Amino acid sequence: MRAISPADLKQTGPCTWDIPRSFRNDMRATARLFADQPMLDHLFGERALEQLVNMTTLPGVQEPALAMPDIHQGYGFPIGGVAAIRADEGVISPGGVGYDINCGVRLLASEVSHGEIRDRLPALATQIQRDVPTGVGRAGRITLDEHAMDLVLNTGLRWAIGAGHGDEADAEVVEERGCLAAANANTVPDRAKKRGADQLGTLGAGNHFLELQRVERIYDQECGRAFGLFEGQVTVLIHTGSRGLGHQTCTEYVRRMDVTMANYGITLPDRELSCAPFHSPEGQDYFHAMAAAANFAWCNRQVITHEVRDAWKRVLGSNQPLAIVYDVSHNIAKLEEHRGVPCIVHRKGATRAFGPGHPELPERYRTTGQPVFIPGSMGTASYVLAGTETAMRESFGSACHGAGRELSRHKAKKTISYDQLRASLRLAGIEVRAGSARGLIEEAPEAYKAVDEVVDVTAQIGIARKVARLRPIAIIKG
């Protein structure tokens, strides 16, 4: 299998590059990449482009297989990979979803400005760190028995609301209202349930975080008003997923499909893409289990929201609401119709970006398009965007999900100074609450692509438009 070189890519737009089907005889679709030239140059030193080409070999894949501007090497799919696969004759692949099923981002908006709480920010950051368990293996305050676990998996946000962790106004602005109807707790492995039993309301580690931010700039005033945002406003961004439950679910279905794939006559260039026909027993079991894990993740972010709201009231003595702007998923496979064809849209490190008028959007966002959140690396800006009609035509209603790694965690630990990192964050006026020096270094700004460039490319190709830029004022990490 020969390496991909710059000569193999054909530029078809200012930030659009194609690897045609003629590149390899097992490709079933064009491989398309959204990137500017500097981003492209960096990719030839890793496997991300090879993984993008490998995506095109999946049975039923539709034109084109896509990579977003935050593309980097992942498991099976590259991070930033999007593939729409025909539901009637195609496959479903756990490697096209990822281990942290329904890892996603939720934005909360306050009604106060940064200046109003600046003096109490250190206390607020400390209280949130106390109230939201963070780090590998940290247990939450909720322990689910077998019956409660099945309710969480089957009903998603309905369970959290019934348990007093939210209300109907919250559900209205969560993708799928926080519940995939396809969920079936019986298909989730027992070991996955055991791993998740005490993890609701926990942040985890790695690239997961909770940030307090101030709205630095509004690009689109009308859209900003619809999203409830104003300059100087304090917001909260929560990034986490299904924790150990999702990871174990993916692990066991990858193994199962790796064993049974040959029974369906499927051969692929990378065993990390192990898959099964969507309508096969294995494919349906995974789809139901993935949906259940997604429901768990929505409950997790909801319980964390409840914990943040409690910390907010405790420190600020305020009953002012922290309203959810939106909650979007970026490791998920969804049954959607595109170009008149029912498809299983795999979004691996990519977020949904439905445009104005889409019936699945809340009424308040029907005229603006769906809120899209692109977090930067720790200490840099994050962005709020809005989905577009162009995304519906060009990217199966998808956009990127973050800045995208540029350095591996191993390389970050070897090249980044902890003392210098802490000093730079302090100089920027950012409160930091972290569980370990290693975890902080792995997520340093130098380890990621420049989020401004990623967002500029996204906006230039038209799959999302800029609404607001957010600056961190406090960071809580595992």
pLDDT in tens, the chain (478 residues): 678 999 999 999 999 999 999 999 999 999 999 999 988 888 887 899 999 999 999 999 999 999 999 999 999 999 999 999 999 999 999 999 999 999 999 999 999 999 999 999 999 999 999 999 886 666 778 999 999 999 999 999 999 999 999 999 999 999 999 999 999 999 999 999 999 999 999 998 878 999 999 999 999 999 999 999 999 999 999 999 999 999 999 999 999 999 999 999 999 999 999 999 999 999 999 999 999 999 999 999 999 999 999 999 999 987 778 999 999 999 999 999 999 999 999 999 999 999 999 999 999 999 999 999 999 877 789 999 999 999 999 999 999 998 765 656 556 666 667 677 777 777 777 888 877 666 667 666 666 668 999 999 999 999 999 999 999 999 998 7
Residue 5 annotated as part of some ligand binding site: no
Residue 404 zone, left/alpha/beta (φ > 0; ψ -120 to 50; rest): left
DSSP E strand boundaries for 381-461:
382-387, 398-400, 431-434
- 330 a known binding residue? yes
The reply to whether 55 sits in an annotated binding site is: no
* Token code pair at residue 149: 């676990």
Q: Is 54 annotated as a binding residue?
A: no
Q: List CB contacts of 111: < 8 A, sequence separation 6 or more.
A: 233, 320, 321
Closest CA to 272 of 50, 430, 440, 456: 50
Query: Phi and psi of 423, rounded to 5°?
Result: -65, -40
Res 424: pLDDT: 76
> Would you say 228 and 202 are in contact if contact means Cβ atoms under 8 Å apart?
no
**CB contact set of 266 (below 8 Å; sequence gap of 6+):** 59, 91, 275, 276
Q: How far from the centroid of its chain's Cα atoms is residue 4's Cα?
A: 27
Contact present, 454 and 70 (Cβ < 8 Å): yes
Q: Where are the alpha helices (DSSP H) in 69-145?
A: 114-117, 121-131
Sequence-distant (≥ 6) Cβ neighbours of residue 257 within 8 angstroms: 93, 94, 274, 275, 276, 282, 286
Give the pLDDT of residue 366. Answer: 96
Task: Determine the pLDDT at residue 159.
Answer: 97
- The structure's pTM equals 0.94
**Maximum Cα interatomic distance, the chain, rounded to a whole number of Å:** 65
Which ranges of 78-167 does DSSP label H, i.e. alpha helix?
Answer: 114-117, 121-131, 146-155, 157-162
Q: Any binding-site annotation on 404?
A: yes
Measured CA distances, 237 to 33, 104, 203, 210, 324 (Å): 28, 10, 12, 6, 10
131-140 b/e (C-beta count within 10 Å ≥ 16 → b) = bbbbbeebeb
Of 71, 86, 85, 77, give the one whose Cα is nearest residue 274: 77
Name residue 276's amino acid. A
Residues contacting residue 37 through CB under 8 Å, at least 6 positions apart = none
Right CATH for 6-134+205-245+303-477 from 3.40.140.10, 3.40.50.11750, 3.90.1860.10, 3.90.280.10: 3.90.1860.10
Q: Categorise residue 412: left if φ over 0, alpha if ψ from -120 to 50, beta otherwise.
A: alpha
User: Residue 313: what are its φ and ψ, rounded to 5°?
Assistant: -65, -40
211 is in an annotated binding site: yes
- Catalytic residue list: 401
Q: Is 147 annotated as a binding residue?
A: no
- As a 3-state breakdown, the chain gives helix, strand, coil percent values, each rounded to 5, of 40, 25, 35
- Give pLDDT, residue 426: 76
Q: Is there a binding annotation on residue 417?
A: no
Helix (H) or strand (E) holding 285: helix 281-316
Q: Is 89 exposed, middle or buried (CB count within 10 Å of its CB: 0-12, 13-18, 19+)?
A: exposed
pLDDT of amino acid 19: 97
Task: Give the relative orientation of helices 281-316 and 121-131 as an angle to the nearest 10 degrees.
Answer: 140
Q: Are 478 and 138 in contact (CB under 8 A)?
A: yes
Is 44 assigned to a binding site? no
**Among 282, 283, 351, 269, residue whose Cα is nearest residue 55:** 269
Q: Is 327 left (phi over 0), alpha (psi -120 to 50) or beta?
A: beta
Output the 3-class SS for 7-69. HHCEEEECCEEEECHHHCCCCCCCEEEECCHHHHHHHCCCCHHHHHHHHCCCCCECCCEEEEE
Q: Answer yes or no: is 375 a known binding residue.
A: yes
The response to whether 239 counts as a known ligand-binding position is yes
Residue given tokens 């008003």 in the structure block: 225
Q: Using alpha carbons, select from 172, 244, 177, 237 the residue that is nearest to residue 206.
A: 244
- In the chain, the N- to C-terminal Cα span, in Å, equals 40
